[in-house]
């Protein structure tokens, strides 16, 4: 038996690890915890000394090793080891939401752009208070015209959240300094609502991506998560297509994260597609992504360009036209009924005159 892998299974609290990597606690039972995230419904408990999970939506289960491979894009045991070595030492006390045994707040000299632990702790606390939209969101449904089916799609369901103010929340995943080490974790989140766009205080932009990004046969890179959902709605894509959002201009940190994601997608034979904005900024970003892809051995990348500035503009235009067509149809139908009634009245008058 591999001693290191066994230590990961027994010493790392799987619930804490899952919360730090995109899951939300739904309920605690006497000997298990229910969580939602990554398109799954999880129950975590201890069997002997090992933490184990069962996903009743996707019919998967296992230990923290299996969770990393199935849900966190860790393709092999080498990547799992690196991820969990980085994570080792994290201990989050869920009862008081405090990070146990963390060192004094500081940044590593070689990781100047990485989130420090004090900020990370607040971000993880925020994540525990957010909830899935369950297909209901005034801003996304009303103003952005995102369909209920898209919001409930397993690819997006736990990657598009809401807070008590009704804001739309889009978690970014990246690297952060935790317990003196660099770990893969949620490093911040975008906040959007009518007339407002922001980012979590003290957080750092990473990448927003759908729950299937680790295994999708096609990856579409967009500028925003809303553009990703709009593209999926317009093109009627299925679970074989995953989405990655940059969230605006790319930082050097984001470039490294995106390069790693492209390399993994390329290694499994997935197609990479650019779906960035139809403007000079989108052209510039498309070239930047192409340059990163070439470093991974991807020499040609297809680009899908929206008709308007972005995919959400295209979606709103389509919905508006559909609504106008329905209105016109109703008006024409009403006019037809009026003309029919007028004709009957005329015929009745003619009969009475005769």
- What CATH number is given for 3-98 in this structure? 3.90.580.10
Helix crossing, 3-11 with 64-71: angle to 10°? 90
What is the distance between the alpha carbons of residues 172 and 151, in angstroms, rounded to a whole number? 18
Q: What is the per-residue pLDDT for 349?
A: 59
φ/ψ of 338, rounded to 5, equals -65, -45
Q: What is the per-residue pLDDT for 140?
A: 97
Q: What is the per-residue pLDDT for 87?
A: 74
Q: Which residues contact 279 (CB under 8 A, 6 or more apart)?
A: 309
CB atoms within 10 A of CB 265: 25
* Contact yes or no for 200/206 (Cβ under 8 A): no
* CA-closest candidate to residue 143, choices 237, 43, 230: 230
Q: What is the per-residue pLDDT for 133?
A: 93
Q: What is the per-residue pLDDT for 218?
A: 97
* CA-closest candidate to residue 120, choices 181, 188, 169: 188
What is the distance between the alpha carbons of residues 134 and 148, in angstroms, rounded to a whole number? 8
Helix crossing, 252-267 with 280-295: angle to 10°? 60
- Residue segments in the chain with a per-residue pLDDT below the cut of 70: 1, 88-118, 177-182, 331-354
In the chain, CATH 3.90.580.10 sits at 3-98
Report the 3 state secondary structure along 65-102. Answer: HHHHHHHCCCCCHHHHHHHHHHHCCCCEECCCCEECCC
| CA 224-226-230 angle, 5° bins | 120
Q: What is the per-residue pLDDT for 351?
A: 54
CB burial string 204-228: b at 16+ within 10 A, e below = bbbbbbbbbbbbbebbbbbbbbbbb
248 class by beta-carbon count within 10 Å (0-12 exposed, 13-18 middle, 19+ buried): middle
């Amino acid at each position: 038996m591999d001693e290191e892998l066994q230590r990961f299974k027994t010493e790392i609290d799987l619930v804490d690890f899952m919360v730090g990597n995109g899951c939300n606690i739904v309920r605690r039972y006497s000997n298990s915890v229910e969580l939602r995230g990554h398109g799954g419904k999880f129950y975590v408990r201890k069997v002997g000394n090992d933490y184990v999970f069962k996903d009743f939506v996707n019919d998967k289960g296992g230990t923290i090793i299996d969770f990393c491979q199935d849900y966190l894009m860790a393709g092999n045991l080498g990547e799992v080891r690196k991820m969990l070595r980085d994570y080792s030492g994290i201990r989050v006390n869920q009862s008081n939401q405090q990070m146990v045994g963390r060192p004094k707040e500081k940044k590593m000299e070689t990781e100047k752009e990485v989130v420090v632990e004090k900020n990370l702790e607040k971000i993880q606390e925020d994540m525990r208070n957010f909830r899935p939209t369950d297909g209901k969101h005034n801003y996304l449904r009303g103003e952005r015209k995102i369909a209920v089916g898209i919001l409930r799609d397993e690819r997006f369901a736990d990657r598009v959240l809401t807070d008590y103010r009704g804001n739309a929340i889009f978690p970014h995943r990246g690297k952060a300094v935790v317990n003196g080490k660099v770990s893969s974790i949620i490093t911040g989140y975008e906040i959007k609502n009518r007339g407002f766009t922001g980012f979590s205080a003290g957080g750092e932009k990473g990448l927003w991506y759908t729950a299937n990004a680790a295994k999708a046969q096609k990856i579409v890179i967009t500028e925003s998560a809303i553009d990703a959902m709009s593209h999926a709605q317009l093109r009627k894509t299925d679970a074989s297509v995953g989405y990655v959002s940059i969230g605006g201009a790319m930082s050097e940190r984001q470039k490294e994260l995106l390069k790693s994601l492209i390399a993994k997608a390329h290694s499994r034979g997935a197609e990479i597609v650019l779906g960035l904005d139809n403007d000079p900024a989108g052209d510039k970003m498309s070239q930047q992504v192409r340059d990163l892809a070439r470093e991974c051995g991807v020499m040609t990348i297809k680009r899908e360009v929206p008709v308007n500035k972005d995919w959400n503009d295209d979606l709103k235009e389509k919905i508006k036209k559909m609504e106008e067509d329905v209105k016109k149809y109703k008006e024409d139908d009403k006019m037809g009924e009026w003309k029919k009634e007028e004709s009957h009245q005329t015929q009745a008058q003619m009969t009475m005159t005769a």
